[in-house]
A and B are shown apart, each in its own frame.
Chain A
Amino acid sequence: MQSLIQQIISGIASGGVFASLALALVLIYNAMGLVNFAQGEMAMFATFIAFTLIDRGLSYWIALPVTLMIAFAGGVLIQRVVIRPVERAPVLTLVIITLGMATLVNGLAGFIWGYVPRSFPSPFSARTVNILGAVVSYQDMGVIAISAVVLLLIYLLLQRTTIGLTMRAAAHHPEASRLLGVRVSWMLALGWGLAAAVGAVSGIMVAPVLFLEPNMMQAIIIYAFAAAVLGGIESPLGAVVGGLIVGLTVNLAGAYLPFVGGDLELAVALAIIIGVLLVRPNGLFGRPTVRRV
């Protein structure tokens, strides 16, 4: 029972990480109908920037917002330089370009920081606390708290501010928005920046657990894919719920299903992706798409 509660709490913590990255995927999908295969690598790169800042003596709580701002600027820059020239290209082209970006960013991080795994500092103590008899680490609770705050902020930004309204309008009805004076292309860039920042949070949250190296996010991005697909790839709320479900499922399956164990947790994510796509391609919260002939 205690170990079950422990597994659930660490499942929610990983769920928060997956949810952040899945939300980043959803933001870009909503902006231009594209799954960004480089999202995980971009998050990894941002985490390395945070690592460098902290290494240079900055405190964690200053390095975090600075990194998020850099990530935001980087996201906007990528949209302006790489994506904008091919905005109207077929989705096949766009997917291949984001894959190229993933490879490029991965190699660049290898160039700059090397492939030796590094331990990443955590602001939360490694100590544990007893909740209902279960041993829970401050690390897990801290990750849950930060993920919750970030997701809430994004929700407020999208739903309660003018800029959020404009962004949603630009994504859903680009032509009409343009006629109403919205600078649609810049709104897309804003979406990329926001996605990069949210994704960076997931990287920074997971780095103390996984150790930081260029391939750190390779597994996490698969979990985030599973979360986004499960929630319905266009729904921000779906990404959060999907992230939590994937986090819990993967943790519990790894702990309690003998044939899954530690090494096939990733296969659970693959099974979720394929299962959802076959049974309910629109996910839990997505609207069915209507194809006009």
Chain B
Amino acid sequence: MPTSMLQRIRSAPPRYWLVVVVAIFFAGLPTVVSSFSAGLWAHALIFVIAIMGLNILIGYSGQLSLGHGAFMALGAYTMAILVRRYQINYLATIPIAGLLVGAVGFVFGIPALRLSALYLALATFALAVVTPNLIARPDKFTGGNHGIILAPPDPPQFAKDAFAAVTGTPMTGDQWVYYLTAGIGALLFWLAWNLVRHRAGRAMRAIRDGEVAAAASGVNIAAYKTLAFGISAFYAGIAGSLYGIATAFVSPQTFPVTLSIALLVGAVIGGLASTAGPLLGGIFVYYLPIESNQWVPSQSWIPTQIASVVEKAGPAVTYGVVLILIMIFAPNGIVGLIVAGYARLRRRLRGVADRETGQLPPASQTVP
């Protein structure tokens, strides 16, 4: 028995090893970086979760949503209102927010079926722009423009103890939010991975690549398209509720249209229709503005008067340029580039090895 186990581990494809390495990296991260950095990483992972959902919608089912910020807002406000008005434990509100937003997304997906890709993009974009105004209106419920302030989350005793046993200092609130987000993120990653590799994922890809052909092969188009909408909204809802927990504050200004665009940028940059793409894309879009905010003031050649403008405009310009360049030159994003580079490298290495053993087929003859 142990030998077969060992064999299975040894014959596992490299991508499983990659998953293990990434998991160890994220589990160990807070023990080496500061509590503040762990808080930032928690935010980045929240972006990753939302983008995982968006990737299922855009990358696998081929439907474009520019309004996922609105779904995140709904998740965050569900959490905040349940915690504030009904005194429900914040941990319990996360699945509630996810399921509620997922149901809303599923319902939203039904009229979306009738719309062409273009009209869907248009309608969801309008939704994203209107969202802050819509949130502020029922101010008895949502606190209007002032938003809702929550108590910062406190780590439970077992987590404090366990963390202290490893690092010597008890776990802070930021670190707790980080582990909460990373744990939920891992679970959702596993879900997404299974989804896209099995029946539903194949059906969605078939629809994306040719709706008529998919229908002719017996794929239920309407069911899978609305399912994709529901699942991606579920992810956005969970990301939204975690976002509210991490910042301990939700307001209409937390969910501007730029949030929806940032999510799209993350999905595209990481690589649409790839399982690893959202991780890279989410980290990129979250850290780009933060890093540029630190980098710009440190540059002495930028006059201080315009430094604040550069901080504000820099990320927008970068997002725009990167979005255009990736779409034109590398439609499969960072992951696509890495995969292509790896394949090329392997072909070259194998070519060299084969030539040394003399097993290379003769060079193809060029016909004059």
| Residue positions of A touching B, CB distance < 8 A | 33-35, 37, 82, 85-86, 89, 91-93, 95-97, 99-108, 110-111, 114-115, 218-219, 222, 225-226, 229, 263-264, 266-267, 269-270, 273-274, 277-278, 281, 293
Contact = CB atoms under 8 A, between A and B. Distances in A.
Given A103-B261, A266-B130, A93 B331 contact: yes
A70 B210 CA distance: 42
A273 B123 contact: yes
Contact of A274 (B62, B123, B327): B123
Given A102-B320, A114-B306, 8 more contacts: A33-B118, A34-B118, A95-B117, A100-B323, A103-B323, A106-B320, A111-B317, A229-B122
B336 interface: no
A88 B80 CA distance: 46
Interface stretch (B5-13, B133-141, B164-172): B133-141
Given A108-B313, A264-B133, A99 B66 contact: yes
Contact of A104 (B117, B122, B130, B320): B320
Given A91-B117, A100-B323, A281-B115, A110 B125 contact: no
A82 B323 CA distance: 12
Contacts of A277: 111, 114-115, 119, 123
A91 B118 contact: yes
Given A92-B62, A99-B264, A267-B130, A278 B114 contact: yes
A37 B64 CA distance: 13
- List the 10 shortest-distance A-B pairs measured between CB atoms, nearest first: A104-B320, A107-B316, A100-B323, A110-B313, A107-B317, A103-B320, A100-B324, A107-B313, A111-B313, A270-B126
Most chain B beta-carbon neighbours within 10 Å: one of A35, A92, A115, A273: A92
B133 A263 contact: yes
A5 B315 CA distance: 45
B313 A86 contact: no
Nearest to B310: A111
A86 B246 CA distance: 40
Given A35-B122, A107-B316, A273-B123, A92 B117 contact: yes
A93 B324 contact: no
Contacts of A219: 129
Contacts of A108: 313, 317
B317 to A, nearest CB: 4
B328 interface: yes
A99 B323 CA distance: 8
A97 B324 contact: yes
Given A86-B327, A100-B320, A277-B123, A115 B309 contact: yes
B224 interface: no
17 contacts: A37-B125, A91-B118, A96-B327, A97-B323, A97-B328, A99-B323, A101-B320, A103-B317, A110-B309, A111-B314, A222-B129, A263-B136, A264-B133, A266-B129, A267-B133, A267-B134, A277-B114
A273 B126 contact: yes
B281 to A, nearest CB: 13
A163 to B, nearest CB: 27
Contacts of B261: 99, 103
A293 B212 contact: yes
Contacts of A267: 130, 133-134
A213 B317 CA distance: 16
A265 B122 CA distance: 18
Contacts of B310: 111
B142 to A, nearest CB: 13
B123 A107 contact: no
Interface in B51-74: 58, 62, 64, 66
Q: Which residue, B114, B125, B134, B331, has most C-beta atoms of chain A within 10 A?
A: B125
B260 to A, nearest CB: 10
A100 B118 contact: no
B193 interface: no
A88 to B, nearest CB: 12
B320 A105 contact: yes
A92 B317 CA distance: 21
Contacts of A100: 265, 319-324, 327
Interface in B277-324: 306, 309-310, 312-324
A30 B126 CA distance: 21
A107 B310 CA distance: 9
Contacts of A95: 64, 117-118, 121
Given A82-B324, A92-B58, A281 B314 contact: no
B310 to A, nearest CB: 7
Contacts of A96: 64, 264, 268, 323, 327
